Structure 1
Amino acid sequence: MKKKINLRIWAALCVLIGGIILTWITYNSTSLYHHEDIAVIQKNNFSDTLSHNTKDIYQNHDQVRLQKFDIKVLSGKNSGKVYRLTNTYSPSQLLTQKYRPNDHLLIKFIRHRSTISTIKRDWILVALGTLTLCSIILIAGKHVWALLVSMTISWGIFFALISLDIQTHSFHNILLYGAGTIILSFLALLIVQGFNKKMLVTWLSTLIGLFTSFFLCYLVMKLTGNSQMMYDNSDFSNQDLQGVFLAQTLLSVLGAVLDESTDIVSSLSELIIHNPTITQKEILKSGQALGKEIMGPLINVLLLIFIASELPLLILYLRDNSNIVDSFNYSLTLGLTQTMVAAIGIVLTVASATGCSLLFFKKEDKK
């Protein structure tokens, strides 16, 4: 046991060292971008001064600040040249960006004049990926390869679905993403658990909970005529706004339902294996108890994730003196609908996972 723990620590340490080196290389790399050049902000002649104060009709106060700095181009045909730039920003940084000395930038040249595209952030992704991989190694051990392969395949399927959606102009996108969730959940469970009865039972219970909750959502939306569904206030730049929303709901519910179904089926299968004389009533009570332990935290996690993502927009509406009802309709309606559908799916999955475990794992005759 100690050898396994030590092996995990050494593996995580090696990944951490390699990740730090890769992060440093990515931070200083200038050859990864072909359509944009890399530049760095110089410390010398850097200034940040107040231009003027602003106040809107709602008495919200802000500032407009002016930055002047030199940038040194690190790549492209203008490599080595120094340019003087100005930048106007507000401390709130809602629509503007504040720059600091030593920031690496992505720049473009338009008619021999340099313009900033954005800050070079690729090294941040590498650093976060390193920390994530180290955490997975410490927790999962030798199963890390299965998890990484599963994540890679899931990303591949996800981008394939998006590509097909774009090529078909969102025609029948619900069928497209519905088929995608079936394939994605099957491959994810197959890689992590292997092809066995427990994997198939988990997959079946996941699909039952997922599509039952989705069907209820679709039925209610049809019966109510999509009342109060503010699709026009969403970020969907697509003609079929309802279809994109339903596809997004389908994918969001899948994550929660798959997690819960895996926990319940795995626990009940181990319980039946170690206690073959367990009765059907005891299995049902055990599944119900597991569901009670999982449902509350899982629904709260989904709700908090949604609230965290929409909090800036909600604060913006409220600060502009919008009433609570309008702020709710403009920023929270769609997200809360998805959260409720996921909550219904979580509740239904308790029944489907317990029922499937009882049906396929317990061999005694049903009374």
Structure 2
Amino acid sequence: MSLKYFQLNWKKIIFFLVGGLVLCLIVYHDAELYHQPIGEVIQVKKLKKTSVTDNFNNHDVSQEQRLKLKILNGKNRNHIIYLKNNFSTSEAASLAYHSGEQLFLKIHQHQSKNQSVIITGLKRDTMMVFLCWLTIFLLSIIVGIQSYRMLFSIILNLVLFFLAIKIDVITDAQNVVFIFAVLAIAFLAVTEFLIFGKGRQFLVCFSATFLGTGISLIIAIAVLLLTHENGLNFEMMSYVTQERLPLYLAGCIIGSLGAVMDLATDITSGLFILAEKNSAMTFKDFWHSGQNIGKTVLGSLINVLLLIFISSVFPLAVLFIRNGNNWNYLFPMLLSLGIVQSLISGIGIALTIPLTSTLTGLVLRKEVSHE
């Protein structure tokens, strides 16, 4: 294979590398932009260790640190303070801190002019900016100009998401399913328009995704009503301060939409490329080709959903089992909600294959018949 296919724009790469380095340095030194006090760890001294064992024979080690911090902002800027930090080696509920890290602090000024300082968290904005920059860099090098459309769609979808959350809070959680259904349609329209532009591919993919997600949600609601939600413990949805079932269904809409949209886009793009290569294809040819594309992607897509779900519950599942709970307790209390959500997405994926194949075949057959 010729090396010309692997030629890179070195000026572009150097520009991104230098720009990313400068950006990370700026963010690392942006403590003055925060109202909350920030301290940099300039020295760490390890103190005593203590072995601990709980009632379930889980072993851990408690370690104490003495931290020397320099305040980076606010009225206490450049002051040196000393703190003790206790953490477990498992770092399940506490962290070990290292030199060079920046920490968010809470400083209490007492009437005796003494101060008490509490660490409230680790400042992670530099790492987040680095990861965002790395993603943009790789997309720009590999995908090219199309990557900027994708990034724009992500930013726009995030803005829409935060707007929907704000509306949900303002309306006091009234009609949460309707709010997020509208949000899903907006997500779909923005993403597909930026991928396909205005045309038949956009209409086909939008229609197929809308129908696949909508039908799967209707099936889910019908099953939940018929079974009276038996076996689903919505009380395990942590930190929820509003009615849980509508919020769960709203999450199902967004989760199903992503998987269905991915599959519909693959099938639509593939069939339109086939139409360009062979204008003599019939509706039957398009339908069978769409089915084959869908079957090829189906297995990997469902496994992606399963692996995402497993990764989200894995730490808690290990914690449950290590603390004496069995699988009969673990499944209904921790796994059932996620598995049902994955099944709803799976139904949407399965429905999307014939829906997209049929709609695309009808549109492309009409185009062929006019030639």
Could you state the TM-score of these two structures normalised by the residue count of structure 1? Answer: 0.94
CA distance in 1, matches of 2:221, 2:13: 45
| Aligned CA distance change for structure 1 residues 41 and 329 (closer, same or farther; 3 Å) | same
Distance 2:239 2:302 in 1: 25
Which 5+ residue runs of structure 1 have no aligned equivalent? none
What residue number does 1:96 align with? 94
The residue correspondences of 1:141-160 to structure 2 (distance < 5 A) are 141-160=144-163
Q: Which moved more, 1:268-277 or 1:162-171?
A: 268-277
Partner of 2:16: 15
1:38: which partner in 2?
Answer: 38
Q: Supply the distance in 1 between the matched residues of 2:100 and 2:134 (Cα, whole angstroms).
A: 24
Query: Could you say which residue in structure 1 is the equivalent of 2:307?
Result: 304
Name the residue aligned to 1:108. 106
**Residues 179/301 of structure 1: CA separation in 2 closer, same or farther (3 Å cut):** same
Structure 2 counterpart of 1:139, from 142, 155, 158: 142
- One-letter amino acid of the counterpart of residue 358, structure 1: G
Q: How far off its partner does 1:144 sit?
A: 2.0
Corresponding residue SS for 1:253: helix
Correspondence 1:242 to 2:245: yes
Q: 1:13 to 1:235 in 2, by over 3 A?
A: farther
Letter of the 1:27 partner, please give it: Y
Q: Which whole-Å CA distance do the structure 1 matches of 2:10 and 2:205 have between them?
A: 32
- State the shift of 1:33 in Å: 0.7
What is the CA distance between 1:115 and its match in structure 2? Answer: 1.7
AA in 2 matched with 1:37: P
Greater Cα offset, 287-296 or 271-280 = 271-280
Q: Deviations over 1:225-266 (max 9, x none)?
A: 011111111224222111111111110111111111011011
Cα distance in 2 for partners of 1:9, 1:176 equals 46
| Candidates 168, 175, 186, aligned match of 1:172 | 175
Deviation string 1:187-236 (CA, Å, 9 cap, x unpaired) is: 11112221111111110011011111111111111110011111111224
* 1:141 CA drift (Å): 0.6
Distance in 2 separating the partners of 1:220 and 1:16: 53
Take 2:173 and 2:9, find their aligned partners in 1: how far apart are those partners?
45
Match of 1:47 in 2: 45
Counterpart mapping for 1:144-223 below 5 A:
144-223=147-226
1:49 deviates by: 2.6
Contact residue 283 and residue 362 of structure 2 kept, 8 A: no
Q: Any idea what SS the aligned residue of 2:144 has?
A: helix
Report the 3-state secondary structure (helix = DSSP H, G, I; strand = E; otherwise coil) of the residue aligned with 1:141: coil
Residue 335 of structure 1 is matched in structure 2 by 338
| 8 Å CA contact retained: 1:108, 1:114 | yes
- Cα separation, partners in 2 of 1:355 and 1:126, compared to 1, 3 Å: same
2: CA distance, partners of 1:309 / 1:210: 23
Q: Does 1:58 align with 2:56?
A: yes
Structure 1 residues 20 and 216: CA distance shift in structure 2, 3 A: same
Q: Report how far residue 28 of structure 1 moved.
A: 2.3
| Structure 1 position 117, deviation (Å) | 1.4
Q: Deviations over 1:345-365 (max 9, x none)?
A: 111110111011012221278
Task: Say what the alpha-carbon RMSD is for the aligned residues.
Answer: 1.8
User: Judging changes above 3 Å, is the alpha-carbon distance between structure 1 residues 224 and 9 closer, same or farther for their aligned structure 2 residues?
Assistant: farther
SS at match of 1:71: strand
- Output aligned runs, 1:286-325, within 5 Å: 286-325=289-328
Q: In the TM superposition, what is the alpha-carbon distance from 1:32 to its structure 2 partner?
A: 2.2
Which residue is 1:126 aligned to? 129
Q: What CA deviation, in whole Å up to 9, does each residue of 1:148-184 have, x standing for no partner?
A: 2111111111111111111112111101111111111
- Rounded Cα–Cα distance in structure 1 between residues aligned with 2:199 and 2:129: 36
In 2: Cα distance, 1:265 partner to 1:12 partner? 33
Give 3-state SS (helix, strand or coil) of 2:198's partner.
Answer: coil
Aligned equivalent of 1:282:
285
Give distance in 2, aligned partners of 1:4 and 1:32. 45
Q: Is the 8 A contact 1:26 1:123 kept in 2?
A: yes
Q: Specify the code of the residue in structure 2 equivalent to 1:16.
A: L
Kept in 1: contact 2:140–2:148 (CA 8 A): no
Query: How much has 1:273 moved relative to structure 2?
Result: 2.8
Q: Separation in 1 of the partners of 2:67 and 2:8?
A: 49
Amino acid across the alignment from 1:54: V
Give % identity. Answer: 30
Runs of 4+ that moved beyond 2 A: 1-13, 49-52
Q: What secondary structure is seen at the aligned counterpart in 2 of 1:63?
A: strand
Residue number among 73, 97, 100 corresponding to 1:75 in the alignment:
73
Contact 1:42/1:70 (8 A) holds in 2: yes
Q: What residue in structure 1 maps to residue 112 of structure 2? A: none
Q: How big is the shift at 1:6?
A: 4.5
- SS of 1:362's equivalent in the other structure is helix
Shift of 1:13: 3.7
SS of residue paired to 1:332:
helix
AA matched with 2:149: A
8 Å CA contact 1:314, 1:328 repeated in 2:
no
Q: Which residue is equivalent to 1:26?
A: 27
Preserved CA contact (<8 Å) 1:12 1:137? no
- TM-score by length of structure 2 reads 0.93
CA deviation vs aligned residue, 1:35-55 (integer Å, no higher than 9, x gap): x11211122xx3223342211
AA at the equivalent of 2:286: I
Whole-Å separation in 2 of the counterparts to 1:293 and 1:12: 35
Structure 2 gap segments, 5+ residues each: 110-114
2-structure distance, mates of 1:200, 1:9 = 39
What residue is the counterpart of 1:225 in the other structure? 228
